[in-house]
Amino acid sequence: RKEVEQDPGPFNVPEGATVAFNCTYSNSASQSFFWYRQDCRKEPKLLMSVYSSGNEDGRFTAQLNRASQYISLLIRDSKLSDSATYLCVVLTGTALIFGKGTTLSVSS
Amino acid sequence: EAGVAQSPRYKIIEKRQSVAFWCNPISGHATLYWYQQILGQGPKLLIQFQNNGVVDDSQLPKDRFSAERLKGVDSTLKIQPAKLEDSAVYLCASSPGTSPWETQYFGPGTRLLVL
């Protein structure tokens, strides 16, 4: 089992759609959780941290379920500029473990 | 504030040749990371430095890869000899302190193609 697994992509959605990405992790001792965004041929950038109580940043909502070892990211009212690859990232020990990413393409 | 700088941006070499990458982290950042990102995959940590000491190099193929961070500032990553499977983007990242949950800031990466 891979350490961090994500929904296979790509997700193709129209502007204004709501889209959700899921992620599972294998190590129950993992301490911290993040979503990073990576534009095509660019470097990853932190989108948001994920807290146990769930957290929201504008149109983006992240949820964590430690019991199920499951993380999600919800994007509401998708914009063209949201087109990117979304990487689920888990901190285990001192290292960040990245998932393969899920590609989102938002079209007009 | 200047971001993480990397050079070269692109490199094409033949297998069995050697190559070196350079990284200058954000000024004052204590922790520096090197990642390998193969096409279609997420970044994989190769080595982590805190100041000029190695914290984690468990994923570094030490028979061919080496890295150093002299004086706790910039860093070089070397591959010698290169293999076809080393074709990837090599990303350098830095974070301000020594806590592993701090935000990592990535450089633009060096794209390596091994022929």
Question: Are A52 and A69 a contacting pair, CB within 8 Å?
Answer: no
Nearest residue in chain A measured CA to CA from B54 = A94
The verdict on a CB contact (< 8 Å) between A98 and B43 is yes
**Chain centroid to CA B25: how far?**
11
For residue A1, pLDDT beyond 70: no
Q: Are strands B110-114 and B10-13 parallel, antiparallel or unpaired?
A: parallel
Angstrom CA distances, B31 to A48, B24, B45, B47, stand at 20, 12, 13, 11
How many other C-beta atoms lie within 10 A of the C-beta of residue A50?
23
% of chain A residues with pLDDT over 90: 88
Predicted confidence at residue B80, as pLDDT, reads 97
- The one-character DSSP state at B52 is T
List of E strands, A8-94: 11-14, 19-25, 32-38, 44-50, 55-57, 60-65, 70-75, 84-92
For residue A90, pLDDT beyond 80: yes
- Nearest CB to B109 within list A32, A43, A89: A43
Question: When comparing pLDDT for A27 and A7, which is higher?
Answer: A27
When pLDDT is averaged across residues A53-79 and rounded to a whole number, the result is 96
3-class DSSP state for residue A28? coil
The verdict on a CB contact (< 8 Å) between A87 and B104 is no
The verdict on a CB contact (< 8 Å) between A43 and B108 is yes
For residue B100, pLDDT beyond 80: yes
- Nearest CB to B42 within list A42, A95, A100: A100
A-B Cβ pairs (cutoff 8 Å, strict): 44
Band (pLDDT 50/70/90 cuts) for residue A2 is confident
A80 Rama sector, left if φ>0, alpha if ψ -120 to 50, beta otherwise? alpha
Testing the interface with B: which of A40, A42, A94, A100 to mutate, by most B Cβ within 10 A?
A94
When pLDDT is averaged across residues B85-95 and rounded to a whole number, the result is 98
3-class DSSP state for residue B23? strand
Band (pLDDT 50/70/90 cuts) for residue B25 is very high
Residue B52 to residue B47: CA distance in whole angstroms: 12
∠ Cα A7 A25 A3 (to 5°): 95
Nearest CA of chain B to the CA of A14: how many Å? Answer: 24
